[in-house]
Amino acid sequence: MRTDAAELLLAHMRARSHVAPKRLEAPGPNADALNLMFSAAAQAPDHGRIRPWRFIVIPQEKREALGQAFVQALQARDAKASQAELNTAYDKAFRAPCLVLAVLSHVPSEPQVPTHERLVSLGCAIQNMLLMAQTLAIGSGITSGQSMNASSIRELFKLHIDEECVCYLAFGHVTAYKPQRTRSEPAAFVSVLD
Ligand SMILES: Cc1cc2nc3c(=O)[nH]c(=O)nc-3n(C[C@H](O)[C@H](O)[C@H](O)COP(=O)(O)O)c2cc1C
């Protein structure tokens, strides 16, 4: 049974695609839009009701510190990194008008919830955020990389020892979307137990 609401939801899902942070322009989401996106995250399924994740918004005045942390992370893993590579690492902190860090928690819980279930919950929360952004005509992208859990990054974000940085979410205005990529048909990934 197809409803208008279902068609609309699928249309928003189809319209979303990854946008590289350097192509996300100002204006970013305002406070109300950001609040809607985080409210969407809160609707994620969460086995044990432990909410094993949180998000940290990185305001413009902290981008400089993030850039320095990216540089330190690169120097720590590659003492021979060139000045050009260090500059690129630094510049990444200034891309996209809105940048949010997604953090996974491994803090022991009662009931016990294994890591893969915690990660599924975070993934659902992230997708909820991306879809809310899309519905608000806000572009989004996810980035990660080798510096995700470098000590300079963990110190900057004051992470608990049982927490892990998973990825950055970038949001902003998109002037030109790339052509939509072809998605799998359900038959490619669904079977029936026989
Ligand atoms: C956990 C995670 C980390 C990602 N990290 C990166 C990244 O570092 N660089 C990048 O270009 N895309 C990254 N992506 C985005 C994927 O490349 C993108 O989702 C994929 O190409 C599929 O495209 P779509 O989102 O438009 O469907 C990441 C996605 C996820 C889920």
The residue contributing the CA closest to ligand 1 atom 31 is: 142
Helix axes 115-135, 31-41, angle to 10 degrees: 140
List, in sequence order, every residue forming a beta bridge with 169; answer none if it has no partner: 100, 142
**How do the domains of the chain map onto residue ranges?**
26-60+94-176
Ligand 1: does its nearest atom lie under 6 Å from the Cβ of 144? yes
Annotation: CATH topology of 26-60+94-176: NADH Oxidase (3.40.109)
What is the whole-number distance in angstroms between the Cα of residue 144 and the centre of ligand 1?
8
Q: What is the pLDDT of residue 176?
A: 85
Report in angstroms the alpha-carbon separations of 4 from 9, 10, 40, 95, 136.
9, 10, 21, 37, 18
Residue 106: phi and psi, rounded to 5, are: -110, 15
Edge-to-edge strands, sheet with 98-105: 53-57, 98-105, 163-172, 139-143
Amino acid identity at 81 = A
The residue contributing the CA closest to ligand 1 atom 19 is: 18
Print pLDDT tens along the chain (194 aa): 889 999 999 999 999 999 999 999 999 999 999 999 999 999 999 999 999 999 999 999 999 999 999 999 999 999 999 999 999 999 999 999 999 999 999 999 999 999 999 999 999 999 999 999 999 999 999 999 999 999 999 999 999 999 999 999 999 999 888 888 899 999 999 999 99
Ligand 1: does its nearest atom lie under 6 Å from the Cβ of 167? yes
Q: What is the pLDDT of residue 68?
A: 98
The residue contributing the CA closest to ligand 1 atom 10 is: 143
Q: What is the pLDDT of residue 180?
A: 86
